[in-house]
Chain A
Amino acid sequence: MPDIDIVTPIHPAPALPLRARLAPLLMPHRLVMAGLALAALLAIITQMEWSWLPVYLPKIGDGLLVTLVLLASSVIAGFALALPLGAVQVTGPAPLRWLATGFCTVIRGTPLLLQLWLIYYGLGALFAQFPEIRGSWLWPYLRQAWPYGFLTLTLSFAAYQGEIMRGAFAGVPRGELEAARAFGMPRLMVFRRVWFPRAVHRALPTLAGEIILQLKATPLVATITVTDLYAVITRVRQDTYLTYEPLLLLIAIYLCLSGTLTIVLRWLEGRVPSGH
């Protein structure tokens, strides 16, 4: 990332006229491909078996909601955890630094599915052994699967994002920190006013990609009986003995989700002043 240029004003890209924007879509080969895609879509709708769809639609909606809530909560909690993980690796005392580096290495070096099963089966079996825990108010929650799914997804996001935050903290230009110190700011204020916001700013462009990756990790929670979108579709496949129809719908939904998320995140990114 180049240093910020404060001299050139920011010009928004001039909006192209509609015809110029449509031109790439109207090239002959693309029209043919679009026609083929439309024909395939029509064939899928008319030739395949879709009578189950109205019956399962409410459940699919519920599953979609579970997926989105898991995604949002684990991204927020994971990001909150990633900030200290990244900062400590750059500036923390040695034992904390080793701990954070070790955590990131272990989580990033092992499959998410293994972590999920370790936490769900391992912790679940461990908790069940203690009467104190079984008697506590937490037990009704700990007996369900979603807290373990949430915990695993959060830790995973924190580790990947923590690694990015380490780079972001280390990459803040020294001159900016020296300038802050030259103003007589105490160390904590330098961190709060300059280092921390600049590091978060530098890490933002990668956040969109990480969130899409996290979306693609969520269906794993179906293996520990959380009824997310993927679990609902698996249920449909078991009930109806259909192989392809539910799978195609699932792919279509995930395509829409990734697309919408990408557009929303790009719009949000555009609203953060970047100085270019």
Chain B
Amino acid sequence: MIEAIDFSLLALTSPGWGGALLAGFLRSVELAAGGYLLGIVIGLLGATAKLYGGRVLRDIAEIYTLLIRAVPELVLMLLFYYVGTDLLNQLMAAFGREGIDIDGLSAGILVIGLVQGGYATEVFRGAIRAVPPGQIEAAQAFGMSPFRVLRRVTLPAMAPHALPGMANLWMIATKDTALLAVIGFSELTLVTKQAAAATREYFLFFFAAGLLYLALTLISNLGLRWLERRARRGLPAAA
């Protein structure tokens, strides 16, 4: 009943779909990396707002993280996608320009970054709180500017505490890119579905895509573990 699987469908050149799959994979990695970096920036700002901000700023950051953690990523991505493109088009119209089509990559990165930022805020907040306050106060007593305190003391001192959580977030970022398939981004999962539907070889293509995702996860796991070991130099062994 089941015929032998035709692996030539995975060939890199035209009759095969391998090239399209790899291009989709690269697009996924780009989206994940961009969104992750944006998430780190938002997370640092959010954590600073929560720990050192005024009352209003603190409450706004609180509402942001609450919203991100309580609403499904898929729904958030839809919302950010429509609000983001609408706002940008209105902005362009206000400057008297034609409405433009935002390219998929930046829209996708924005959407993933805003979701990641909510979780990163919580990770960084916990990590900064784990730094003994005396170290930060000592840096301030030396007359360092707030930015230099951040760069020289707070960031390196909180890194070992933040890394496990941030490693986890990177895994979530790579998997969240798949959700963009629902909005219509041609990243790995959507390309895979198109290839599978065209050839009716569902298992072959979905397993191939699964292997690509798994390889990404396992390889980044190795890198992150090395980074964590490096950041923990000089600290007592983990409990």
Contact = CB atoms under 8 A, between A and B. Distances in A.
Given A216-B71, A247-B79, A259-B70, A113 B59 contact: no
Interface stretch (B155-163, B203-211, B222-230): B203-211
Interface stretch (A56-64, A140-148, A181-189, A217-225): A217-225
A247 B75 contact: yes
Contact of B82 (A29, A243, A250): A243
Nearest to A218: B72
A98 interface: no
A114 B202 contact: no
Nearest to B55: A29
A110 interface: yes
A251 interface: yes
A53 B209 CA distance: 40
A126 B206 CA distance: 14
Given A111-B189, A113-B181, A113-B182, A30 B59 contact: yes
Contact of A251 (B2, B79, B193, B207): B79
A109 B192 CA distance: 17
A220 B74 CA distance: 8
A247 B79 CA distance: 7
B213 A117 contact: no
Contacts, number: 113
Interface in A181-220: 212, 215-220
Most buried by A among B74, B176, B200: B74
A230 B214 contact: no
Contact of B202 (A110, A111, A118): A118
A24 to B, nearest CB: 10
A29 B2 contact: no
A32 to B, nearest CB: 8
Interface in B50-86: 55-56, 59, 67, 69-75, 78-79, 82, 86
Contacts of A230: 72, 74-75
A244 interface: yes
Q: Which interface class (under 10, 10 to 19, 20 to 34, 35 or more) fits B? A: 35 or more
Contacts of A110: 175, 210, 213-214, 217
A241 interface: no
A17 B119 CA distance: 34
Nearest to B217: A109
B218 interface: yes
B1 interface: yes
A118 B75 contact: no
Nearest to B197: A121
B72 A217 contact: yes
B153 interface: no
Contact of A244 (B71, B82, B176): B82
B206 A129 contact: no
Contacts of A29: 55-56, 59
A131 to B, nearest CB: 9
Contacts of B218: 105, 109
Given A29-B59, A33-B56, A117-B193, A254 B206 contact: no
Interface of A: 27, 29-30, 33, 105-106, 108-115, 117-118, 121-122, 125-126, 129-130, 212, 215-220, 223, 230, 243-244, 247, 250-251, 254-255, 258-259
Of all A-B residue pairs in the complex, the 9 with the closest CB atoms, nearest first, are A111-B178, A258-B70, A118-B206, A109-B217, A122-B202, A216-B72, A111-B175, A113-B178, A121-B202
26 contacts: A30-B55, A109-B217, A110-B210, A110-B213, A110-B214, A111-B174, A111-B177, A111-B179, A111-B189, A114-B178, A114-B209, A114-B213, A117-B206, A118-B203, A118-B210, A121-B196, A215-B72, A216-B72, A219-B72, A219-B74, A223-B182, A230-B75, A247-B79, A250-B75, A251-B75, A258-B71
